[in-house]
Structure 1
Amino acid sequence: MSNAIWVAWRIPCSGLRLSSVLPPATFRPVCRDLRITPSLYNSTPRRLYSSLNTLCQTQNRPNTLRFFPRYSAPTLPQSRSKKTAAPAHSEPTSDSLLDKSLSDLEIKAIFGHRTKVSPKLANRTLEVLQARRLEGTLDLDLPLDVARAVPQSQLDICLEWLRVNYPVDEDAAIMARIEREDREAEEKLVRRAERLGLYKPQSGSYEAELGEEDSPYGKSVLKEAREQNEKYLLAEKERKRQKWLDGEKEEQEKLQRQLEENTSLQQYQESALTEARPRADPNERPYLAWVQKHHIAGTLDHPEAMEVTTAQRLVAPALFVLLTLGLCYYLATTYEPPARKDRLWPDIPPAAATVGAIIGANVAVTLMWKYIPPSWRLLNRFFVIVPFYPSAPSMIGSTFSHQTWRHLATNMMVLGLMGTRVHDELGRGNFLAIYFASGALGSLASLSRSVLLGYLGMTSLGASAATSGIVAAWCMYHANDKITMWILPHELRETLWTQGWIFLACLVATEVFSMVAPARFMGVFPLSRLTKMDHAAHLGGYFAGAGCGYALAQRRKAERVQRARDAKWFENLVR
């Protein structure tokens, strides 16, 4: 009774026939029904071909091989390869067929003693049936030589013998065949759609090579481009490295030729060729190589400077200084201090804000000299006076430039002590006009001295000319007033004092003496250190500041006289 349901379910089945009678399209739905009812597979006993043949009423055809699958749960093979987008069909090998050809006695035991089938044809029949079992194609027509010579009854006997002696999961083979045919049909449709332009896979083409980790999207074009760019960048980096290391000798030879062509620079030949360190390897010492590259890039390299005359070196800076003086005069005469609410820092005194901004600018430029090598090219062009190839904007830029902290501290200390006092007495407009005018005239004086004396390799920078102008302006503004040192006790201030013009005269005399006296041979402090200063720039700043201070003092005197006249006229009118 346990098989009643199975027999009742199988009786209406007419079996699977040849493709000429029952096409494969009719066979596939039956197998798909088998795949969705796994419970029947497990509960159905194994039945022989002969017993099933008695249950299914079919027509006997001489060229037809009836096939009834054994209903066991199939094990489907992998439908996709790991390396390709579409798997290849695996044909059965010779190892999967019969082990060896059967003898005559074995053939007669299978086909019967009265069989007329030759041993050769019998072995071929067994091999064909076994191959069809492995491929799941028992429903297809047999070869003509087998179909004509072997009766259907003997084909059934051969198939039963193979199932007993060579067990094969025929259901799994049928399912694999269905999957294979479905894939082939799908591939055919996809290729046709791709040719017609109706389908475009993301990987570029059908059956394209998979990407990393078996990605169906294929190889990444962006990753390939990135890898190519990385290879190019590495090669370019190595090329630049070799060019950098091999270019040291060329740079020295080029500098040697420039020095030989200009007699004014021959005295600096040795220091120019041996001052820089040997070029560092970017792979071993990248920071030093980076600094050296910016040092070379910041070095002025103008072959046309060899042909520049003395007049050409001085005309452009002189015109720039004249323009600066005109702007300073305009600032001094038209400047009006802003209201408290309009100031950027209303809680800070105006003098402290102005002087602090100037000190901050000087500190910023010093930091650029010290720690920002990419800025050296800009600084060498506009923030230092180079007589060999001067730049007009450097007449102002050099007054904000310092390369050592001691130089910066000295100038900023003078500016902090005297700048706030002058700012409070003269006003912001006059203070800024004096500062920039003194710095510009001092820079022009330094450049003129170096060019006229032939010191083309001597550079100059610093705010000492501007601070000297501030000191000179205050001295001339108080030319006849008593000047003393605020650090002295109150009793000594009445004894140790001098007038402003006398104090300024002493400063100018010290600068002149330090410039003309052979102090470097005397070795007397502080004259030995004074010879390293730019005395021409200091003198230029003193004269500019003194002129501005004298003009302001005369204007103050004229205003006092005018107020006295107005007061006297008012008194006479009242009387």
Structure 2
Amino acid sequence: MDHAAGSSQDATSVPGCYRHPDRETGIRCTRCERPICPECMVNASVGFQCPECARGDSGTGHPPAAARPRTIAGGSVAADPRLLTKILVGINAAVFIAVHVRPSLLDHLVLIGEWPPAPYHATQGVAAGEWYRLVTSMFAHQELWHIAFNMLSLWWLGGPLEAALGRARYLAVYFASGLAGSALAYLVGSPTTATLGASGAIFGLFGATAVLMRRLNYDMRPILALLAINLVITFGWGGISWQAHIGGLVAGVITGYGMVHASRRHRALVQYGTCALVLVVVVVLTLIRTAQLT
């Protein structure tokens, strides 16, 4: 938890507005991170800014370059805050079309541990060295309802999260979550069952969005209700890889927490270090499962 400087507040108190110290607040300026009360909040493209930052003069002594608009995670504010989300939707749609034009292509994209099954030596699958399937399966869909549901979720969750984190950080959360979902599905699921879909990455966006909303003190009931509904569907509907969903969700919470709670001094190190740690876990889980199958 972030704390305001000053001896008048103990370590567990809510900080006071920097302009009105007697008013407690859990909201901070997205640029200078000073606590601000409702009277001092100025609506910005992402979150709120203090009056000085909104005017372009933070009064913190930083040079003009440091006063450029930044997201709450320290990323640059882009002219098109949904650009990467649009690209991800486009890639998924392009792969979906390609698979229906050439159905045999799907066999080379899905996540599968080994094929043919034991006692024969795997000639296809992650166990045979096809680690790329951990990534390609994130963009593969076979049924229209599947890709439609996932792309609507990606658009609804991805756009605001991309705007809040910045492009590079958003993409890091997306891929870390998707890979974590693939790794858990490979580790726990049947090695001969094909898994596909962007759901692992999307559940990661659910987790990161919940962390972000908690950080901004927003009402979390809508996102938690939607997440609960999706978890009920995950465990109550047959044919769904719960491993990919849970792996993505956990990775999204972890990387999302690193993104929005990292201190300004070591922000990049903590943010990308958290993502790197998740990727290390992905590699370790994949190696463990491969050793079991070969």
Smaller-chain TM-score bracket = 0.5 to 0.7
Is the 8 Å Cα contact of residues 202 and 248 (structure 2) preserved in structure 1?
Answer: yes
Residue in 2 aligned with 1:458?
193
1:498 lines up with 2:221 in the alignment: yes
Distance 2:92 2:176 in 1: 17
1:477 offset after TM fit, Å?
1.8
1:350 offset after TM fit, Å?
2.5
1:559 offset after TM fit, Å?
3.9
Q: 1:478 aligns with which of 206, 210, 213?
A: 213
Is the 8 Å Cα contact of residues 75 and 166 (structure 2) preserved in structure 1?
Answer: no
Query: What SS does structure 2 have at the residue aligned with 1:533?
Result: coil
1:304-343 maps to which residues of 2 (within 5 A)? Answer: none
Residue in 1 aligned with 2:243?
536
Distance 1:411 1:512 in 2: 16
Residue in 1 aligned with 2:107?
380
* Aligned-CA RMSD value: 3.1
Structure 1 gap segments, 5+ residues each:
1-334, 341-348, 485-496, 516-526, 561-575
Distance 1:411 1:510 in 2: 11
Deviation track 1:234-267 (CA, whole Å, cap 9, x = no partner) reads: xxxxxxxxxxxxxxxxxxxxxxxxxxxxxxxxxx
Query: What SS does structure 1 have at the residue aligned with 2:111?
Result: coil
Residue in 1 aligned with 2:227?
507
Q: 2:89 aligns with which of 356, 359, 372?
A: 359
2:221 partner letter: T
Is the 8 Å Cα contact of residues 215 and 260 (structure 2) preserved in structure 1?
Answer: no
1:442 lines up with 2:181 in the alignment: yes
Is the 8 Å Cα contact of residues 483 and 499 (structure 1) preserved in structure 2?
Answer: no
1:538-553 maps to which residues of 2 (within 5 A)? Answer: 538-553=245-260
Residue in 2 aligned with 1:414?
153
Residue in 2 aligned with 1:71?
none
Structure 2 gap segments, 5+ residues each:
1-73, 115-124, 266-294
Q: 2:166 aligns with which of 427, 431, 448?
A: 427
Query: What SS does structure 2 have at the residue aligned with 1:350?
Result: coil
Deviation track 1:320-342 (CA, whole Å, cap 9, x = no partner) reads: xxxxxxxxxxxxxxx9769x8xx
Count how many residue pairs are aligned between Structure 1 and Structure 2: 180
Distance 1:480 1:471 in 2: 14
Distance 1:547 1:396, change over 3 A: same
Deviation track 1:185-211 (CA, whole Å, cap 9, x = no partner) reads: xxxxxxxxxxxxxxxxxxxxxxxxxxx
2:212 partner letter: Y
1:511 partner letter: L
- Greater helix percent: which structure? 1
1:532 offset after TM fit, Å?
2.1
1:507 partner letter: L
1:355 partner letter: T
Distance 1:425 1:499 in 2: 18
1:457 partner letter: T
Is the 8 Å Cα contact of residues 508 and 539 (structure 1) preserved in structure 2?
Answer: no
Structure with the larger RCO, 1 or 2 (CA within 8 Å, 6+ apart): 2
Is the 8 Å Cα contact of residues 75 and 165 (structure 2) preserved in structure 1?
Answer: no
Distance 2:134 2:191 in 1: 16
2:91 partner letter: A
Distance 1:512 1:445 in 2: 19
Residue in 2 aligned with 1:370?
100
1:123-138 maps to which residues of 2 (within 5 A)? Answer: none
Query: What SS does structure 2 have at the residue aligned with 1:531?
Result: coil
Residue in 1 aligned with 2:286?
none
Distance 1:356 1:499, change over 3 A: closer
Distance 1:546 1:336, change over 3 A: closer
Is the 8 Å Cα contact of residues 113 and 186 (structure 2) preserved in structure 1?
Answer: yes
TM-score by length of 1: 0.29
Is the 8 Å Cα contact of residues 418 and 470 (structure 1) preserved in structure 2?
Answer: yes
1:513 offset after TM fit, Å?
9.0
Distance 1:511 1:536 in 2: 11
Identity of aligned residues (%): 26
For the pair shown, the structure with the greater C-alpha radius of gyration is 1
1:550 offset after TM fit, Å?
1.1
Distance 1:514 1:402, change over 3 A: closer
Distance 1:511 1:354 in 2: 26
Distance 1:535 1:483 in 2: 28
Distance 2:215 2:172 in 1: 23
Deviation track 1:506-562 (CA, whole Å, cap 9, x = no partner) reads: 8379638954xxxxxxxxxxx3xx23211110000100100011112321xx349xx
Distance 1:387 1:512 in 2: 26
Is the 8 Å Cα contact of residues 399 and 466 (structure 1) preserved in structure 2?
Answer: yes
Distance 2:75 2:246 in 1: 31
Query: What SS does structure 1 have at the residue aligned with 2:157?
Result: helix
Distance 1:479 1:472 in 2: 11
Distance 2:222 2:217 in 1: 5
